[in-house]
């Protein structure tokens, strides 16, 4: 006896960035103008087309008359709250990548920075004995 299973409903996909831009233009707006009107740099809201940024997604979705979870379903839970990303998870200072630059790591002089001056360590300056 053959058993048939109902086909799975395809997972919802995010709108293509070109579709989002077209919808914003159709609403008589532009991402550039929305960015400026909300106090961002002119190209800032473009970032929401490629990466999760709930505040920018909300601004864009309101401009086209939708909720953000309808435009970017993979970025939101079923209840409409943004999914947590790696950077949202609290971490302790020092856990993870080592510091670089003047405060430690491979490019550090080995000293301690006090008021912009390196104290101790190898200063590579003229005062070396």
Question: Domain boundaries in the chain?
Answer: 17-76, 98-122
Say what the pLDDT of residue 86 is: 60
Residue 28: its pLDDT value, please? 97
Task: Determine the pLDDT at residue 120.
Answer: 60
Place of tokens 């086909």: 7
Q: Under 8 Å CB-to-CB from 57, ≥6 apart: which residues?
A: 48, 68, 71, 72, 75
Burial class from Cβ neighbours inside 10 Å (0-12, 13-18, 19+) for residue 69 reads buried
In this structure, the number of other CB atoms found within 10 A of the CB of residue 60 comes to 27
Give the per-residue pLDDT at 35. 95
Q: pLDDT tens per residue, the chain (129 residues)?
A: 566 676 666 767 999 999 999 999 999 999 999 999 999 999 999 999 999 999 999 999 999 999 999 999 999 998 889 987 665 555 555 545 555 555 555 554 555 555 656 556 554 555 554
Q: Does an H or E element contain 117, and which?
A: strand 117-119
User: Has domain 17-76 been given CATH number 1.10.260.40?
Assistant: yes
pLDDT for 54 equals 92
The CA distance from 108 to 101, in Å, is 6
So what's the pLDDT on residue 57?
95
Q: Is the pTM of this model over 0.75?
A: no
């Amino acid at each position: 006896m053959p058993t048939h299973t109902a086909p799975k409903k395809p997972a919802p996909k995010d709108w293509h960035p070109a579709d989002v831009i077209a919808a914003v233009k159709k609403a008589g707006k532009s991402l550039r103008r929305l960015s400026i009107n909300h106090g961002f740099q002119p190209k800032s809201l473009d970032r929401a087309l490629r990466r999760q940024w709930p505040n920018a997604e909300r601004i864009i979705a309101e401009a086209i008359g939708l909720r953000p979870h309808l435009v970017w379903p993979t970025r939101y839970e079923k209840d409409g709250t943004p999914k947590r990303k790696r950077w949202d998870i609290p971490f302790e200072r020092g856990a993870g990548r080592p510091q670089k630059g003047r405060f430690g790591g491979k490019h550090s002089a080995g000293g301690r920075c006090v008021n912009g001056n390196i104290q101790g360590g190898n200063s590579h300056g003229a005062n070396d004995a």
